[in-house]
């Protein structure tokens, strides 16, 4: 470790990072790492609190003469994503992360590095430990299990933090300041379906939509890519009646937070009309490929032989196709505050036919909680019109961007004074811990910042060493200014 530390600045931050990297801390297995954080806080003379799930809160009094300043909380998550290359003999439950230096970056041999968010934890501890650093009353909140469920943030007690400002240290691009995120809500519509005997002499065929790009249902929702379920519904709408098909099942999508790349329908066709059906599907595929153009050039719609299942009643089939045609998907509204930011969207994410019912699942997002709920209600109403019963779940709050807030101006001013240029102020259309923590602390002003990390959540994860040094100087500059 001493060899690695040589030439790395600031020393304290890197020392904490390397010590933390020696402790296993995959999500939901981070108890030892959280205990290490608490021990560092005790060693520094901080007030230490640990909550029921293992989040750690450290408090330190203001530096000399600054007790009247507003309190500042530094927040980071202690868990990390555990990914390794095939053939890498690494046990994430036991082995230290094999950190090494590669020129201007720090990496791990064949595994994720855990700079997401180990650098944030290390920076927060370094702020507590650095002699002579000017700051008001300081809190350090280290959360558990950000990566697989935001468990730590969700469990934070309302009012636990006393600070007026919160700096989340989990951003991945130096010079960028994140000031907002989206909340989310799941909606699942389900409809019991009855099976009716199909006319005799039918052939079972699978209509399959594939080859789409898909993507993250928040970050990529404005890209205009195809939704396999929606395209499938358009195809079914065009061919079910005209070719006297019976629908037996629809299936597609596999994650709530992914735009569906593939979907299929099982249909029972009159063998004498199969050739005409194939010709029609080929024509529809060409139309859709042309409509999507370069947005999704890989689209394929195919007809394959399949194993038969009993047919849905014609009324059920109409309802299922109708819902997949009519339900919202895509961008609902853009942000009036931040150019190019999606404010509200939904993802028509999954459909399945089993156990006597058809289920259709949506994930809606918005930075504005009222807009998110309104969209959930609209989806539920659309479901009801199609005879589906809708249930909501998995709701979490958004974080509305306020570009003119005083914390944003302070951080930007500190950056300008240090580096001679403004920060890039942005917000993301996906969930962050800030949205959840902020909801429990009305009036808490928040921003998120960090050094430059690349290829996070993969074994290629690496952090730019010079960006960490500049990130640290910015953090010190902000603490002094607030």
Element (H, E) at 73: strand 72-77
* Sheet order of strands, 165-168 included: 47-50, 56-60, 138-143, 72-77, 165-168, 445-448, 176-178, 424-426
Q: Which is nearer to Zn ion, 281 or 434 (CB)?
A: 434
**Given the rule CB under 5 A, which of 167-175, 200-208, 263-271, 280-288 is the region that contacts Zn ion?**
167-175
Which position among 117, 146, 147, 172 bears the catalytic label?
A: 146
Binding of Zn ion by 79 (CB under 5 A): no
Binding mask 255-274 for Zn ion (x = CB under 5 A): --------------------
Binding of Zn ion by 296 (CB under 5 A): no
| CA–CA dist 119, 179 (Å, integer) | 20
Which position among 30, 79, 117, 433 bears the catalytic label?
A: 79
From candidates 79, 116, 145, 433, binder to Zn ion by CB under 5 A: 116
Q: Which is nearer to Zn ion, 170 or 174 (CB)?
A: 170
CB of 426 to Zn ion, least distance (A): 16
- Give strand ranges (E) for 179-240: 183-192, 195-196, 203-210
CB of 450 to Zn ion, least distance (A): 9
CB of 149 to Zn ion, least distance (A): 13
**Given the rule CB under 5 A, which of 115-123, 221-229, 369-377, 460-468 is the region that contacts Zn ion?**
115-123
Cβ–Cβ < 8 Å for 265, 206? yes
> Applying CB under 5 A, what is the total number of residues that bind Zn ion?
3
CB of 117 to Zn ion, least distance (A): 4
CB of 335 to Zn ion, least distance (A): 23
The β-bridge partners of 346 are 330, 364
CB of 405 to Zn ion, least distance (A): 23
CB of 455 to Zn ion, least distance (A): 13
**Given the rule CB under 5 A, which of 170-178, 264-272, 290-298, 376-384 is the region that contacts Zn ion?**
170-178
Q: Which is nearer to Zn ion, 24 or 253 (CB)?
A: 24
**Given the rule CB under 5 A, which of 22-30, 110-118, 210-218, 389-397 is the region that contacts Zn ion?**
110-118
Cβ–Cβ < 8 Å for 50, 38? yes
**Given the rule CB under 5 A, which of 132-140, 163-171, 191-199, 299-307 is the region that contacts Zn ion?**
163-171
Q: Which is nearer to Zn ion, 116 or 174 (CB)?
A: 116
Between the CA of residue 374 and those of 184, 366, 369, 378, 429, what are the distances in Å? 12, 10, 9, 6, 17
List the one residue out of 228, 5, 194, 203 whose CA is nearest residue 99. Answer: 5
Question: Would you tell me the crossing angle of helices 465-481 and 115-129 to the nearest 10 degrees?
Answer: 40
Q: Which is nearer to Zn ion, 116 or 412 (CB)?
A: 116
What lies within 8 Å, CB to CB, of 299 at 6+ separation is 209, 210, 211, 212, 226, 231, 285, 288, 289, 292
End-to-end CA distance of the chain: 35
**Given the rule CB under 5 A, which of 49-57, 130-138, 168-176, 348-356 is the region that contacts Zn ion?**
168-176
CB of 376 to Zn ion, least distance (A): 27
Cβ–Cβ < 8 Å for 451, 106? no
Half-sphere exposure of 411 (CA within 13 A, CB side): 29
Q: Which is nearer to Zn ion, 143 or 347 (CB)?
A: 143
Binding of Zn ion by 170 (CB under 5 A): yes
The CB density around residue 456, as the number of other CB atoms within 10 Å, is 19
Q: Which is nearer to Zn ion, 170 or 461 (CB)?
A: 170
Binding mask 449-468 for Zn ion (x = CB under 5 A): --------------------
What lies within 8 Å, CB to CB, of 438 at 6+ separation is 166, 397, 399, 444, 446
What lies within 8 Å, CB to CB, of 52 at 6+ separation is 155
**Given the rule CB under 5 A, which of 116-124, 210-218, 225-233, 384-392 is the region that contacts Zn ion?**
116-124
Q: What is the dihedral of CA 178, 156, 145, 350, to 10 degrees?
A: -80
Q: Which is nearer to Zn ion, 113 or 268 (CB)?
A: 113
From candidates 14, 57, 106, 117, binder to Zn ion by CB under 5 A: 117
Cβ–Cβ < 8 Å for 206, 268? no
Largest CA distance in the chain: 89
Cβ-in-10-Å burial (0-12, 13-18, 19+) of 276 comes to middle
CB of 146 to Zn ion, least distance (A): 6
Q: Which is nearer to Zn ion, 81 or 303 (CB)?
A: 81
Between the CA of residue 410 and those of 130, 418, 427, what are the distances in Å? 22, 12, 17
Binding mask 123-162 for Zn ion (x = CB under 5 A): ----------------------------------------
Q: Is 146 tagged catalytic?
A: yes
- Give strand ranges (E) for 103-202: 105-108, 138-143, 165-168, 176-178, 183-192, 195-196
Please identify every residue annotated as catalytic. Answer: 79, 146
Contacting positions for Zn ion (CB under 5 A)? 116-117, 170
């Amino acid at each position: 470790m001493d060899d690695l530390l040589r030439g790395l600045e600031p020393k304290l931050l890197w020392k904490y990072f390397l010590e933390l990297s020696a402790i296993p801390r995959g999500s939901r297995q981070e108890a030892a790492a959280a205990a290490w954080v608490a021990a560092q806080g005790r060693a520094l003379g901080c007030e230490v609190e640990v909550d029921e799930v293992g989040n750690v809160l450290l408090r330190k009094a203001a530096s000399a003469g600054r007790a009247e300043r507003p309190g500042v909380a530094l927040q980071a998550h202690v868990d990390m994503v555990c990914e390794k290359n095939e053939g890498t003999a690494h046990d994430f439950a036991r082995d230290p992360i094999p950190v090494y230096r590669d020129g201007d970056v720090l990496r791990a041999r064949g595994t994720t590095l855990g700079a997401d968010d180990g650098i944030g934890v290390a920076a927060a501890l370094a702020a507590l430990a650095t002699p002579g650093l000017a700051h008001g009353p300081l809190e350090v909140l280290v959360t558990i299990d950000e990566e697989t469920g935001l468990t730590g943030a969700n469990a934070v007690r309302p009012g636990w933090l006393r600070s007026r400002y919160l700096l989340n240290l989990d951003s991945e691009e130096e010079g960028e300041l994140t000031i907002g995120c989206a909340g989310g809500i799941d909606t699942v519509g389900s409809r019991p379906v009855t099976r009716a005997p199909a006319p005799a002499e039918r052939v079972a065929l699978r209509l399959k939509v594939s080859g789409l790009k898909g993507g993250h249902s928040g970050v990529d929702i404005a890209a205009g890519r195809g939704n396999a379920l929606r395209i499938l519904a358009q195809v079914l709408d065009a061919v079910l009646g005209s070719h006297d098909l019976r629908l037996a099942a629809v299936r597609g999508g596999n994650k709530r937070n992914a735009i569906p790349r593939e979907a299929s329908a099982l249909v029972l066709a009159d063998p004498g009309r199969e050739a005409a059906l194939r010709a029609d599907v080929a024509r529809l595929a060409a139309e859709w490929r042309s409509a999507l153009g370069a947005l999704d050039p890989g689209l394929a719609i195919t007809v394959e032989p399949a194993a038969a299942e009993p047919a849905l009643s014609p009324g059920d089939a109409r309802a299922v196709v109708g819902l997949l045609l009519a339900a919202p998907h895509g961008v609902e509204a853009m942000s009036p505050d931040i150019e190019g930011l999606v404010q509200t969207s939904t993802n028509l994410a999954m459909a399945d036919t089993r156990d006597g019912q058809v289920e259709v699942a949506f994930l809606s997002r918005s930075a504005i909680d009222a807009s998110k709920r309104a969209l959930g209600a609209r989806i539920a109403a659309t479901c009801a019109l199609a005879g589906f019963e809708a249930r909501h779940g998995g709701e979490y709050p958004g974080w509305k961007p306020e570009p003119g807030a005083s914390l944003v101006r302070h951080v930007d001013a500190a950056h300008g004074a240090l580096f001679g240029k403004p920060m890039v102020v942005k917000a993301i259309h996906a969930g962050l811990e800030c949205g959840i923590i902020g909801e429990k602390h009305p009036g808490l002003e928040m921003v998120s910042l960090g050094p430059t990390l690349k290829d996070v959540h993969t074994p290629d994860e690496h952090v730019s060493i010079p960006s960490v040094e500049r990130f640290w100087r910015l953090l010190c500059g902000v603490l002094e200014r607030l």
